Structure 1
């Protein structure tokens, strides 16, 4: 069985991999599209029209970035609540006037519970990524033509 630290490290690596994949597959193409669009705007002589063009070019990429950041914050907040429950459980397990053994047991309980959170949420990363990608694709199709 993996130690709690190993589970936490596995979760962190899986999270980093998922973020990198969302960046590479979804945000980078939108940023490229935005930059190419912005470059085309540079032919506009009117300063006001140029700025409108540049703003329009950036809308889809910025909206997608904001959307993904929002979804990531929601996911991380759920993970944080799991970890807070672990802290509550560990604190509640400590009797008044705890012995060193009681404190060790509570710390062990906390570490194992946190490892459980890491394992649980690592398992949720792939479905989360798929869901975010699907929602983003749907949103992008509705944003198409706005820029």
Structure 2
């Protein structure tokens, strides 16, 4: 039986967006390679055809174009329909918890939390958190 090649992530977002919202929030255990669209268009990407790539951008338009460039170079690739914005809408939830300084700090450090704020006596947390994540906080 032949193993399916692991999908590698290609992140077309700018550096600030990558730092603010790492793909690890959504794709656990995958490492992402940062590339720009011009590099892919020029074929200077040094990617290998032995791998399958998932190309990610903010809204899905750049990644769709990038897949066309990669496929023209013989590279197997697909893109994330709707980009990170679409994925965020599907996976992210808002949670409201009783505020405490300790919980606020834990929220800031949690790898799946994208947003933490205080709203009076309530802590507002947004992210791709499971019920286990919330209990552990």
TM over 0.5: no
Q: Which has the higher helix share?
A: 1
With the length of structure 1 as denominator, give the TM-score of the two structures: 0.27
Q: Compare CA radii of gyration and give the structure with the larger one.
A: 1
With the length of structure 2 as denominator, give the TM-score of the two structures: 0.28
